[in-house]
Amino acid sequence: MSELDDHQVDDSPFSDFLGFELLLEEQDRELLSRVRAFMTREVEPVINDYWTRAEFPHELVPGIAELGIAGLAYDGPGCPARGALVDGLVAMELARVDPSIGTFMGVHGGLAMGSIQIGGSDEQRERWLPAMARMELIGAFGLTEPETGSAISQGLATSATRDGDEWVLNGDKKWIGNAAFADLVVIWARDTEDGQVKGFVVEKGTEGVEFVKQEDKIALRVVQNAEIHLRDARVPEANRLQRAESFRTTADVLRVTRMGVAWQAAGCARGAFEHALRYTKQRQQFGRPIAGFQLVQDLLVKMLSNVTAATAMNARASQLQDAGQLRDEHASLCKAHSTVRMREAVGWAREVLGGNGILLEHHVGRFVADAEAIYSYEGTREVNTLIVGRAITGESAFV
Ligand SMILES: Cc1cc2nc3c(=O)[nH]c(=O)nc-3n(C[C@H](O)[C@H](O)[C@H](O)COP(=O)(O)OP(=O)(O)OC[C@H]3O[C@@H](n4cnc5c(N)ncnc54)[C@H](O)[C@@H]3O)c2cc1C
């Protein structure tokens, strides 16, 4: 218990009910405070407006870059190398104020930087990671296709054909976050010669690549998702991720980033809970704050339980990740559990706001909508359940 000696659980925000932040070193706690201050001061006041217009707040990027949180857990060139637990708590902190900004960072600092960190050669890491950590280059991750989502490991149809020192890419991608404005996209494509899935860094301006922004989303409206159409797009061999020889590498990236999404889900639930608690203390009905009604307290406590249970599970898994012991099924259990608890919690938060729960100005409505995307991306509940089910039974129930 030595880490609790100098700090009291009351030093943490009230919604960190069991003081998980106290597991962090001082330096990482300070980082978390800076992230919290930035999100509260700079993001919360403006984000509903961007959400309504389905636009991305590009002017906030320099401020986010200054926080030094891109690729926080990675120890590649120029990366902060601060570890998985603080990375997770930061992901929770971002989503606690805005799940879209959390997703933007999850895609850039998690999926795109992670692909290069895990699949790239030393030279490729040097070439891209420092600029990505400084957020001078923004990345995206192109795996999902219009016809194949959950079954992508088997059904990935985008092709890559070697032609001398180049590769020719053909196919379509869908849902690719940040792709509408990214400087580089990691495209996963199947080598027509050996049938293996490989990663290619496709840089902005590459001929034969078309990005079409996906419109009319009802969740994460700030995130700029795009369809990508690759038609004889030529990429140099130097841009093929040299250590990514099969889908196993893609899965290694996803194991890590799935934990990030589990943390985002805990953050989304926590943000909704905090708005709900504040509201119930102010809102008066029958001559008293609605926070004083037993049925309202029941929902508030259930929300807090969900947030706390998800945080506890995720914190332990992140510790395993820091110790090099995180398995696919650990990350899948966390992602499935946290997103189910999130979905319940945001619904209860909306419930205690009554009609105001569907007005954007009270924020909870945005969390309710955004939760739907977090619930489905990076492996649906069903897919993550099947991964855990296979691990505990030894039987694959995918098909
Ligand atoms: C907002 C958003 C952002 C995204 N960002 C990215 C990104 O940046 N990069 C990227 O590559 N992808 C991205 N995705 C794609 C995302 O990962 C997929 O949506 C997800 O993997 C699910 O695939 P799908 O939507 O095609 O659903 P499907 O695979 O068509 O699934 C539909 C339903 O069938 C169920 N199902 C499928 N197989 C089984 C089975 N064997 N047993 C039981 N049930 C099953 C699923 O659980 C689900 O309920 C994003 C998606 C969203 C919504």
CATH of the domain at 376: 1.20.140.10
Percent of the chain at pLDDT > 70 equals 98
Residue with tokens 């990663």: 199
Distance from the alpha carbon of residue 34 to the mean position of ligand 1, in angstroms: 34
Whether 7 shows a pLDDT value over 70: the answer reads no
Name the closest-CA residue to atom 51, ligand 1. Answer: 377
Name the closest-CA residue to atom 13, ligand 1. Answer: 175
**pLDDT computed for residue 86 by the predictor:** 98
Report if residue 377 sits inside a domain. yes
- Examine the domain organization and report whether 88 and 213 are in the same domain: no
- Examine the domain organization and report whether 105 and 57 are in the same domain: yes
Q: Is 264 in the pocket of ligand 1 (CB under 6 A)?
A: no
Report if residue 309 sits inside a domain. yes
Do the beta carbons of residue 42 and residue 60 sit within 8 Å? yes
- Please give the average per-residue pLDDT across 241-262, as a whole number: 97
Which phi and psi (to 5°) does residue 146 adopt?
Answer: -55, -40
Pairing of strands 225-236, 209-213: antiparallel
Report if residue 399 sits inside a domain. no
- Examine the domain organization and report whether 119 and 167 are in the same domain: no
Residue 162's beta-bridge partner residues?
167
Q: What is the separation of C-alpha 391 from the centre of its chain, rounded to a whole number of angstroms?
A: 24
- Examine the domain organization and report whether 6 and 88 are in the same domain: yes
- Examine the domain organization and report whether 42 and 17 are in the same domain: yes
- Please give the average per-residue pLDDT across 173-185, as a whole number: 97
The domain in which residue 359 lies consists of 247-393
**Buried b or exposed e, range 102-114, using 16+ CB within 10 angstroms:** bbbbbbbbbbbbb
**pLDDT computed for residue 13 by the predictor:** 82
Distance from the alpha carbon of residue 373 to the mean position of ligand 1, in angstroms: 10
Q: Is 87 in the pocket of ligand 1 (CB under 6 A)?
A: no
Distance from the alpha carbon of residue 251 to the mean position of ligand 1, in angstroms: 15
List the structure tokens of 75. 């120890």
Map residue 160 onto helix, strand or coil: strand
List pLDDT tens digits, range 107-119: 999 999 999 999 9
- Examine the domain organization and report whether 232 and 296 are in the same domain: no
Distance from the alpha carbon of residue 253 to the mean position of ligand 1, in angstroms: 17
Report if residue 124 sits inside a domain. yes
Tally the domains of the chain. Answer: 3
Whether 203 shows a pLDDT value over 90: the answer reads yes
Cα–Cα distance for residue pair 111/57, rounded to 1 Å = 20
Atom of ligand 1 at shortest range from CA of 143: 11
Q: Is 371 in the pocket of ligand 1 (CB under 6 A)?
A: no
Atom of ligand 1 at shortest range from CA of 103: 3
- Examine the domain organization and report whether 127 and 146 are in the same domain: no
Last residue within a domain, chosen from 179, 210, 239: 239
List pLDDT tens digits, range 294-312: 999 999 999 999 999 999 9
Distance from the alpha carbon of residue 379 to the mean position of ligand 1, in angstroms: 6
Percent of the chain at pLDDT > 90 equals 96
List pLDDT tens digits, range 223-247: 999 999 999 999 999 999 999 999 9
List pLDDT tens digits, range 14-25: 899 999 999 999
Q: Is 144 in the pocket of ligand 1 (CB under 6 A)?
A: yes
Name the closest-CA residue to atom 16, ligand 1. Answer: 377
Last residue within a domain, chosen from 80, 115, 133: 133
- Examine the domain organization and report whether 357 and 263 are in the same domain: yes
- Examine the domain organization and report whether 10 and 42 are in the same domain: yes
Cα–Cα distance for residue pair 111/68, rounded to 1 Å = 17
Do the beta carbons of residue 121 and residue 243 sit within 8 Å? yes
Name the closest-CA residue to atom 31, ligand 1. Answer: 150
Residue 2 — pLDDT band, cuts 50, 70, 90? very low
Cα–Cα distance for residue pair 267/79, rounded to 1 Å = 24
Do the beta carbons of residue 99 and residue 267 sit within 8 Å? yes
Q: Is 383 in the pocket of ligand 1 (CB under 6 A)?
A: yes
Q: Is 130 in the pocket of ligand 1 (CB under 6 A)?
A: no
Whether 1 shows a pLDDT value over 50: the answer reads no
Whether 61 shows a pLDDT value over 90: the answer reads yes
**pLDDT computed for residue 5 by the predictor:** 57
- Examine the domain organization and report whether 206 and 308 are in the same domain: no
Residue 9 — pLDDT band, cuts 50, 70, 90? confident
Distance from the alpha carbon of residue 358 to the mean position of ligand 1, in angstroms: 26
List pLDDT tens digits, range 333-376: 999 999 999 999 999 999 999 999 999 999 999 999 999 999 99
Atom of ligand 1 at shortest range from CA of 178: 8
Name the closest-CA residue to atom 52, ligand 1. Answer: 377
Atom of ligand 1 at shortest range from CA of 219: 1
Distance from the alpha carbon of residue 278 to the mean position of ligand 1, in angstroms: 34
Q: Residue by residue, what is the 3-state secondary structure of 223-240?
A: CCEEEEEEEEEEEEHHHE
- Please give the average per-residue pLDDT across 259-274, as a whole number: 98
Cα–Cα distance for residue pair 294/137, rounded to 1 Å = 51
Atom of ligand 1 at shortest range from CA of 140: 8
Report if residue 322 sits inside a domain. yes
Map residue 244 onto helix, strand or coil: coil
Atom of ligand 1 at shortest range from CA of 173: 11
Residue 6 — pLDDT band, cuts 50, 70, 90? low
Among 376, 378, 387, 390, residue to substitute to test ligand 1 (most atoms within 8 Å of Cβ): 376
**pLDDT computed for residue 163 by the predictor:** 98
Among 111, 144, 145, 223, residue to substitute to test ligand 1 (most atoms within 8 Å of Cβ): 144
Distance from the alpha carbon of residue 376 to the mean position of ligand 1, in angstroms: 6
Q: What are the Cα distances from residue 265, in Å, to 30, 47, 340, 353, 388? A: 23, 18, 9, 20, 19
Q: Is 227 in the pocket of ligand 1 (CB under 6 A)?
A: no
- Examine the domain organization and report whether 28 and 106 are in the same domain: yes
* Whole-number average pLDDT of the chain: 96
Name the closest-CA residue to atom 20, ligand 1. Answer: 377
Last residue within a domain, chosen from 172, 205, 239: 239
Map residue 146 onto helix, strand or coil: coil
Do the beta carbons of residue 116 and residue 124 sit within 8 Å? yes
